[in-house]
Chains A and B, each alone.
Chain A
Amino acid sequence: MSSSSGTALYVHVPFCVAKCAYCDFASRTPRGEGEMATYVDAALAEIGAWRERGLLSDVSTLYFGGGTPTLLGGELLRLLAGIRERVTLRADAETTVETNPETTPPDLIARLVEVGVTRVSLGMQSFDDGVLATLGRRHDAATAERVALALAASGMRFALDLICGVPGQSIASWRESLERAIATGAGHVSVYPLSVEEGTPLWRSVAVGRVSEPDPDVAADMMLLAEELLSAAGIFRYETANYARPGEESRHNTAYWTGVPYIGVGPGAHSMLPAAAFDRVALAEGWYGEPWDLAPGAADAVRVRFSVGSDIASYLHRPTCPPAAASFLTAEEVTTEDIMLGLRMVAGVALAGVEDAGLTGVLESLTRDGLLEQAGERWRTTQRGWLLGNEVFGRVLDGA
C-alpha cells in the first residue's frame, strides 16, 4: 500500500500466565514451551502470506498485543526479528509491546530496547492490591511500581493502563493510583471504566451476587477525576479513554480511529483494508465461495473489516485461514463510521465533512443535549459527551 499513512500491523499473542477475571479476549495459558514456538512460526507464516500479497511493504506502526506478548520471552525476540526480515518497517516506525508487571524482568526491558522496541504498554490497572485481586490480576502494586520505574529508567516511552469503576474501589484508592501513575513519569495513560463482559468469571461473580455490579455514577466521577489530575500533570486526553503528553500519543491506536488500514495477525485479530486490496487477496487466496463460505461483498463496498478466528488451536494448525468474519462497508457507511470514530478523538470532526454526510442535524441535536460543541470549523465532544459516548456514537450511526 502506498498511502502516506502506511499500514498498521497488529500481532496478537494469545498467551497469558493465567486469565484475568474480566478478560474476554483470545488468550490462555500456553501448553508447554513448544506451543509458544509453534505460535511464533504460525504468526510469521501469516505475516509472510500478507507480505507475498504486497500488503506489508510500508508498515508505519507495529504493535504486539495480547494476551501477554512478553510471556513469549526469547521467542518474542525471534518473532520481532522474523517480522523485520519479512516486512518493511519505516525508519521512524512506532513499535509497541504490551506487557504485564509479572512478566517484565529488568533484563527483558534492556533487550527490548536493543531490538528496536520504542514503546512499552504496561497493563498494571491499579496501585491497590484489593482492586487487583477483584480483577484477578497476578501482580501486586509494589511489583507494578517497580516495573514502571524500571521502564522510566530505561529511557523508553511507556504507557500505563488503569481501570476504574471496579466494585470495591474507592475514590481515594483511584486518586492514589492516578497520582502514583503520574509520579512514575509515564508519558501515556489509558483509563478504562470496567465493563463486565458476559461469560467471564467476573460476570459470573456479579450474577451470583459475590461481587456487586459496577456503579456507573462512581465510574463517571472517577473518569472526571482522571481527566482533572492527568491534565494538571500535562497528560492530556486525546481520545475517549487515552491520555498522553503531547507527542506521546499512540500512533498505532490512532490509526484505528482515523481510517488508516491495518492488518491484525494472530487468533482473534482484526483487520481493515480498502475493499480493492481485500478483494485482490480474497480472490488470490480463494476465500470467496466454497469451501470457505465467505461471500463477496456488495460491489459498492469501499472498506472491509475482517477478523481471524479466535480458536488458538486451529490458528496454530493453519494460520493463513480465511477470515472468520468480514463486513463490507459502503462509502456512505464509511463516512458515518469515520465521523463516529472521529468523535472519539479530542480533535473532533470537520463541519464540512459532517455536512456532506448529511449528519449536521444529528450533531446539532447532540449539541442541544450537551454532548458536543462547535469549536471553530470542527465538532468536538464535550465533557458530558465523553461520559455518554454511546449516546453520541449510537445516534450518529442511527442518523445515517
Chain B
Amino acid sequence: MTDPAYIRNFSIIAHIDHGKSTLADRVLQLTHTIADRDMMEQVLDSMDIERERGITIKAQAVRVMYDADDGHTYQLNLIDTPGHVDFTYEVSRSLAACEGVMLVVDAAQGVEAQTVANALMAMNAHLEIIPVINKIDLPAADPERVRHEIEEALAVPADEAVLTSGKSGVGVKDALEAVIARVPAPVGDPDAPLKALIFDSYFDAYRGVVALVRVVDGSIRKGMKVQMMATQTVTDVEEVGVRRPANVPVDELGVGEVGYLITGLKEPALVKVGDTVTLAKHGTTEPLPGYREVKPMVYTGLFPIDGDQYPELRDALDKLRLNDPALIYEPESSHALGFGFRVGFLGLLHMEVVKERLEREFDLDLLATAPSVEYHAFTTNGEMVALHSPQDLPDMGTVEHIEEPYLKATVLVPPEFVGAVMELAEGHRATFKDMQYLSATTVDMHYEMPLSELIMDYFDQLKSRTKGYASLDYEYIGYRPSELVKLDVLLANKPVDALSFIVHKDKAYARGKMLTEKLRGIIPRQMFEVPIQAAIGGRIIARETVKAKRKDVLAKCYGGDITRKRKLLEKQKKGKKRMKNVGNIEVPQEAFMAILKVDE
C-alpha cells in the first residue's frame, strides 16, 4: 500500500484525434512502464478496431511509477477513457475514479465539441483540470489562439497550460510534474468499511469477470467476502492487482489506489459499471453516488445473410456481451429476412463497432437494418408500449399518441458555417436554443432535436456542409410527443417489413419519395420488373420501378479463354451472395440502410 500523499489518479480527456492515446504512450515510455523495444502505437487500445480507427472503446487503467523532480517516487494511475459520446456514462465513471484530468487540445484544431463536453464532465466531477496543448510541432500549431479558446470556452485558466508533442515527447515530463503539483492526492478513510468504485470490467475466458476498481475507503484483499451493492451479489475476492499494463497481483489495494479485482463471478451482468464494492458483512450502507443502468438508445435488426448462420450469430452475441454488458438483444423474425436479432446499442458508433467485431472476429456476414430509436406509443387505454422496431407499433386506431427521445446537441463551428448549420437543423426538426462566440474562430450553437433525426445522416451532413470543421456532442433530455407515422415499403407489391420505418408525418411524403428513388438506384435490375412503393397505412405515396434487365451477356469468347469466362461468372455469383433474397428479388445490403442516406 502506498501513502495516498504519493498517489495521483488522473485521466486524459480529449476530442477525437487530438492525440490522447499517443500522449499516453509517451507517459508509459517516460516512466519505463514499457521498454522502448516493446512499444507499439496506442498501447492501451488493445482491440484491433480501436487501433485501426484510432478510438478507445474500453476504459483502461495503468499504474506507472514516476520519479518526480521533488525526489519522491509517485504512483500515478492513468485512466484512459473512451472518447466518444456513445460511451458518456463509462467516461463519467472513469472520471469519478480520478482527482484530476489532463485536458488535451490539439494546437492546430483548437477547442472542439467533445473538448467542451469532456471538460464540463470533469468540472461536474470537481476534478482539477490541467490544460495540455498538444501537437505543438505541427506547422499549423497556434498555441496562443488555443490558450485563448480554452479560457473563453471552458473558463479554465490556461496561462499554465502545458505545451506538448506526443510525437516527439516534448513537454510530457512537464505534464506529469503538473499532475504531481496540481492534482490533489486522494483522500479516504483507511479504517472505514471498504468502498470501491467499479469503473469498467472485462471478461477473461479463464478468470471470469475482471473489474477495474478505485478504492475510496478501506482496503481490499484476497480472500475477503465482498458485496456488489447494486446487484446485491456476495462473492469472494480471488485476486487483486494492478495493471502495468499487464496484470500484476498485489496483496492489497488501499485508499486511493486503482487496480483490478477478480472474484470468480462469471456473469457480467452481476458486475456493473458504476456499482460500489463493499464488505459482505458490516459493509458501508452508503453506496458511491452516480450509479445508473445503462440504456441502449439505438436499435437495429441484425440478420445473417446466410440464414444457416443464425446459431453462430446467437453464440457470437453471447460472447461479445461478456465484454460489453451495454449490448442487449432479443430474437427477431422478419418475413423478408428470416431469423435474426433486434439489438440495442448506446449509439451509432457502438453499433458499427459491434457489427464489425461480429463480422470480423466471428466470421459472419451480417445484414443490418436501418437503426431506429426507442419510441413510446401510448394507447387509448393508457398503456405505454416501447417500440424497438417499427413492427412493434400497435394498430394506429388504438394509439393515442407517440413520444420519441430528444437530445440537446452542441455544435462548435467556425462563424462562416453558422448559416449551413442552421439550414441543416431545419431539415432535421432541430429547434435552435442559443449560440455564443467562444472566440473569433469558434461559435458554440445549441439545439434540441429528436435522436431519430440525429441518426438520419445528421453527423455526416454536418461534417460535409462545414468542410469537416464542425464538431458535435449531445446529451439526452428525455421523451417528447411527436406526430409520427409508420412508412412501409413494398417490393413487387409485397411489403418488406425490414424496410419500414417510423417518421414524422410532415416528412413522410418527402422521405418516402426519396427512399423509393434511392432504392431504384440500389436494387439491381432483375429478370422481371420490380415496382418499389412507399405506403402509409395502405395508401401508396410514392412509386418507382426497376426495369427488367434485357442484356447481360459476355459475348466475346476470345481465343478460347473459357477460364476467364468462368471467373467472371463466379465473380458475379459472389456478388449475388452478398445480397439478400427477399422473395425472388435480390436486394443488396445497402438497401436496408438507404433511409439513412436520403438527402434533404
What is A's interface to B at a CB cutoff of 8 Å?
A: 8, 10, 12, 25, 65, 165, 191-193, 195, 216-217, 219-220, 223, 240-241, 253, 255-257, 262, 264, 269-272, 305, 307, 325, 327, 337, 341, 344, 369, 386-391, 393-394, 397-398
Contacts and interface: CB of A to CB of B under 8 A. Distances in A.
Contacts of B551: 165, 193, 216-217, 219-220, 223, 387-388
B467 interface: no
B493 interface: no
B32 interface: no
A388 B555 contact: no
B166 to A, nearest CB: 40
B557 interface: yes
Contact of B550 (A10, A220, A271): A220
B552 interface: yes
Contacts of B187: none
B549 interface: yes
Given A397-B569, A397-B570, A397-B573, A25 B558 contact: yes
Interface string B527-564: 10000000000000000000101111111111111110
A344 to B, nearest CB: 7
Contact of A389 (B554, B558, B562): B554
Contacts of A305: 562-563
Most chain B beta-carbon contacts within 10 A, residue among A219, A337, A390: A390
B433 interface: no
Nearest to A25: B558
24 contacts: A10-B560, A12-B559, A65-B558, A195-B556, A216-B551, A217-B547, A217-B551, A220-B550, A241-B556, A241-B557, A262-B560, A271-B560, A272-B560, A272-B562, A337-B562, A344-B557, A387-B553, A388-B553, A389-B553, A389-B554, A390-B552, A390-B569, A390-B572, A394-B569
B562 A269 contact: no
A284 B199 CA distance: 71
B368 to A, nearest CB: 27
Contact of B555 (A65, A192, A253): A192
Q: Is the interface on chain B under 10, 10 to 19, 20 to 34, or 35 or more residues?
A: 20 to 34
B222 interface: no
B573 A257 contact: no
A146 B572 CA distance: 42
A97 B550 CA distance: 34
Q: Which 4 A-B pairs have the closest CB atoms?
A: A389-B553, A220-B551, A220-B550, A241-B555
A334 to B, nearest CB: 11
A116 B569 CA distance: 39
A388 B553 CA distance: 5
A91 to B, nearest CB: 24
B565 interface: yes
Nearest to B558: A25
Given A344-B557, A398-B573, A391 B562 contact: no
B569 A389 contact: no
A187 B12 CA distance: 81
A312 B187 CA distance: 79
Nearest to A256: B560
B562 A386 contact: no
A26 to B, nearest CB: 10
Contacts of B552: 216, 387-391
A216 B562 contact: no
Given A271-B560, A397-B569, A397-B570, 12 more contacts: A10-B559, A191-B555, A216-B550, A216-B551, A216-B552, A240-B555, A241-B555, A253-B557, A257-B557, A390-B553, A391-B552, A394-B573
Given A240-B555, A393-B569, A388 B561 contact: no
B566 interface: yes
Contact of B560 (A25, A240, A264, A394): A264
B560 A193 contact: no
Given A394-B572, A398-B573, A325 B554 contact: no
A386 B558 CA distance: 17
Most chain A beta-carbon contacts within 10 A, residue among B552, B570, B573: B552
B306 to A, nearest CB: 15
B557 A256 contact: yes
Contacts of B570: 397
Contacts of A262: 560
A270 B554 contact: no
A393 B559 contact: no
Most chain B beta-carbon contacts within 10 A, residue among A271, A369, A394: A394
A241 B556 CA distance: 7
A12 B558 CA distance: 11
B566 A397 contact: yes
Contacts of B549: 216, 388
Contacts of B555: 191-193, 195, 240-241, 389
A271 B561 CA distance: 8
Contacts of B572: 390, 394
Nearest to B557: A256
Most chain B beta-carbon contacts within 10 A, residue among A192, A325, A369: A192
A206 to B, nearest CB: 17
Given A192-B556, A195-B554, A223-B551, A341 B562 contact: yes
A73 B554 CA distance: 32
Contacts of B547: 217
Contacts of B556: 192, 195, 241
Most chain A beta-carbon contacts within 10 A, residue among B547, B550, B554, B555: B555
B550 A388 contact: yes
Nearest to B567: A327
B563 A269 contact: no
